[in-house]
Amino acid sequence: MTTTAVGIDIGGTGIKGGIVDLATGALVSPRVKLPTPDGGKPDDIAETTKQVLEQLEADPSLPIGIDFPAVVLHGKTMSAANVSKKWIGFEAEKFFEKTLSRPILFVNDADAAGFAETEYGAAKGRTGVVMLTTLGTGIGSALIVDGFLVPNTELGHLEIDGHDAESKAAYSAKEREDLSWEKWGKRLTKYYSTLEKLFSPDLFIVGGGVSKHFDEWGHFVDITTEMIPAQFLNNAGILGAAALAAKKHS
């Protein structure tokens, strides 16, 4: 059974990769990052991903997980965020396997981050229903039940008060409307209260860059469920994608 795997995180601005120790979640290689090609088309992103993989100089036998900002259903990308609309309905996993000449696992980016926190980070050892949300340009989500990932939840798109939740509660909304931490916290209270009613979670983990400032705004979120900041920031996708790929190919 392999002890390491490759994780590659495809984002709207950068494509990052690393080799992950599956026992600890630590990177055992330098992290490689290249800019996401303008336009975000499949051919261009696949070629840049290939360059990242080449720079990592990973053993060709290692499992490879790739995370991407889209709903991923049986290897096909069903949506597209901050990339070309050509990804919608695209056989991404098969295409990347052909481009990289090896088996891969394609997974939603928030799902990868949530799995990383469960395996190695803030939720390690926790049982029950764990929900990770990433607060950034939008709201990504991951749902993990007793260590098992329920993929593609996309809970940032819940309709609350007639609006897409992320349009009011994402960190981008706070910046756009110049909201104070307290006013933003009230919006987050409404959002997370809705998740509580629907899922009765045991733990919320909050990711995204704003999680670094959790001490400044977390106390404004008035909910019953325990809420803690994510442990991994920029590396979460890499770690989770690698771990999920290893699990698939074990």
Residues of each domain in the chain carrying CATH 3.30.420.40: 4-111+234-249, 126-229
Concatenate the DSSP letters of all residues of 71-107 into one string: -EETTEE---SSS-GGGTTB-HHHHHHHHHTS--EEE
Q: Residue 101 is encoded by which pair of tokens?
A: 């000449």
CB of 140 within 8 A of CB of 134? yes
What pLDDT is attached to residue 81? 75
What architecture is domain 126-229? 2-Layer Sandwich (3.30)
What pLDDT is attached to residue 12? 85
What pLDDT is attached to residue 35? 97
What pLDDT is attached to residue 110? 96
Kindly report the pTM of this predicted structure. 0.94
In the block, residue with structure tokens 């593609």: 152
Low-confidence ranges of the chain (pLDDT < 70): none
Per-residue pLDDT of 134-170, as tens digits, reads 999 899 999 999 999 999 999 999 999 999 999 999 9
Cα first-last separation, the chain = 7
Cα separations in angstroms, 234 against 21, 64, 86, 91, 131: 17, 18, 26, 26, 19
What pLDDT is attached to residue 250? 75
Give me the CATH code for the 4-111+234-249 domain, please.
Answer: 3.30.420.40
What pLDDT is attached to residue 234? 84
- Give me the chain's average pLDDT, please: 95
What pLDDT is attached to residue 42? 96
CB of 241 within 8 A of CB of 247? no
What pLDDT is attached to residue 167? 96
